[in-house]
Chains A and B, each alone.
Chain A
Amino acid sequence: MTDEALYRLRDLRKKHGSTFTLHVHRLDVRRGEMLGLLGPTGAGKSTLLRLLAGLENPTGGDIRFEDFPFVSTDLPLPTRRRITLVHQRPVLLTASVRLNVEYGLRLRGSRDRARKVEEVLARLGLTEFASQSAQTLSGGQVQLVALARALVIEPDVLLLDEPTAHLDPTHVARAEETIRQIQKERRMTVVWATHNLFQARRVAVRTSLLLNGQLVEVASTEEFFTNPSDTRTADFVQGRMMY
């Protein structure tokens, strides 16, 4: 990880209807870091990830990627292909698991697709399901396939929206370990949204907290959990917060 900012968010606002507004006063996502994005359900984690993925434009403020303005409608395809988002509720294609995982590589005309697909399937324990129709998978397996199809394309930026919410503890551990390994191998920038405090503490180098659409704190994970600067973070971490 370097201190160089890959994303710079300044006074970023995103309105959803008349009630919800996401507001990020200041956030830098550093190149090669694993940033945890904590917050309760409905705090705005998915909205922030969609903005970072270029799927939506902010209502106000500024978002920059490598110092260039980040406007979803103007993003060139090569830039877009460097960023991948694993959605909270993945939708798989009506095809086999293998074809689903291969999809991103096919789009890019990548060579050596079979080897890359088999490798990622093996790392996530999906090899035995490779020929199975994606429509027959359980919720947890769907999440693993969604993770596999994102990891196989080796993105520079991996955005994860509750990627292990439907997994059992064994598979959570396996998924976390695989993401951590690949992140280190490829120096990937990862933003990992979760409402699980323990998961954020396990995986993130820095951790941030979103509450009611407001970015409350960003700090090193150690500091975030042991010596937070905001009382709301302290309340959230110690489970005292009512929201």
Chain B
Amino acid sequence: MPFLAIDFWSILWLSLRVSGTAVLISSFIGIPCGVWLGLSRHRGKRLLSAVIHTGMAFPPVVVGLVLYILLSRSGPLAFLGWMFTTEAMIAAQTILALPFVIGITMSAVAAVHTELPAQLRTLGASERQCRWTILRESRHGVLLAVAAAFGRSISEVGAVLIIGGNIQGHTRVLTTAIVLETGKGNFEFALALGGALLLMALLVNLIIVQLQGSRLPA
């Protein structure tokens, strides 16, 4: 039974830890950036939007390759000692998830009624209070951004395979394990891992849907 294997649970836990951390970091950076971009009206906004949307289509293997070059022994970031570690995998998934968080948050904030910021100001909101209220009003879109970022991270295989190395008990996550087990012809275990991947994505999205429906403080 694949579910009884100790390896199965350690892979599952590591996947959750790596992708969860990457989503947390990308949300921490991406949500404020998305709010700022959604509310700003500067000239470069269209260009920035195009760059961010291009980032959503960034091939994971290219991110893995660039990070490999940067983190390898001869690379400029070799001193970090992150090669074939979970830190490098988190970095790769953060880079891949960030455009999703920024782009979707930006669209959600921009979709809030254009008169709302002015009306909040006339009610006495400071700039910070105004941004917070708009973020609250666009929470459905922001949570969707987090869900999309998690989906991107947890299902990604190219980058983590290159810079994580798929080392058993160390950097092996669900997606890389599926690649390995499929190659070995161990389809039962590979399918079980695939099912776990889907189940995990479903659970996270159920939590997010629950949050979307809940009331947040004004």
Q: CB within 8 A of A99: which of B116, B126, B218?
A: B218
| Number of residue pairs spanning A and B whose beta carbons lie under 8 angstroms apart | 52
Greatest chain A CB density within 10 A among B122, B125, B218 is at: B122
Instruction: Bin chain B's interface residue count.
Output: 10 to 19
- Assess A77 versus B133: contact at CB under 8 Å? Given A87-B115, A89-B115, A93-B218: no
- Known pairs A80-B124, A93-B137; A103 contacts B218 (CB<8 A): yes
- Contact of A153 with B115 in the complex, beta carbons under 8 Å: no
Cα distance A240–B121 in the bound complex, in angstroms? 39
Q: Is B124 within 8 A of A55, CB to CB? A: no
User: CB distance A87 to B218 under 8 Å?
Assistant: no
Residue in B122, B125, B137 whose CB lies within 8 Å of A87: B122
A33 located at the interface, meaning its Cβ lies under 8 Å from any Cβ of chain B in the complex = no
Q: A93-B137, A93-B218 are in contact. Are A107 and B115 (CB under 8 A)?
A: no
- Looking at B119, B123, B136, B215, the one whose CB has the most chain A CB atoms below 10 A away is B123
- Most B CB contacts (10 A, CB to CB) among A87, A89, A91, A93 go to A91
Interface string of B111-132 (1 = CB under 8 A from A): 0010110110111111001000
What is the interface of chain A mostly: helix, strand, loop, or mixed? Answer: mixed
Write out the residue numbers on chain A whose beta carbons fall within 8 Å of the beta carbon of B215. Answer: 95
**Please, which residues of chain B bring their CB within 8 A of the CB of A87?**
115, 118-119, 122
Q: Is the CB of B137 within 8 A of A84?
A: no
Q: With an 8 A cutoff between CB atoms, is A201 at the interface?
A: no
What is the interface residue range for chain A against chain B? 20 to 34
User: Which residue of A83, A94, A102, A107 contacts B125 across the interface (Cβ within 8 Å)?
Assistant: A107
Give the docked Cα–Cα distance between A239 and B113 (Å). 36
- Chain B residues with a Cβ under 8 A of chain A: 113, 115-116, 118-119, 121-126, 129, 133, 136-137, 215, 218
Question: Can you pick out 23 interface pairs between chain A and chain B where the beta carbons lie within 8 Å of each other?
Answer: A55-B121, A55-B122, A77-B124, A80-B124, A81-B124, A84-B122, A84-B123, A84-B124, A87-B115, A87-B119, A90-B119, A93-B133, A93-B218, A95-B215, A103-B123, A103-B133, A104-B123, A107-B125, A149-B123, A150-B123, A153-B123, A153-B124, A159-B122
Closest 8 CB pairs of A and B: A81-B124, A85-B122, A104-B123, A91-B113, A91-B116, A107-B124, A55-B118, A91-B115
Interface residues of A, Cβ cutoff 8 Å to B = 50, 53, 55, 77, 80-81, 83-85, 87, 89-91, 93-95, 99, 102-104, 106-108, 149-150, 153, 159
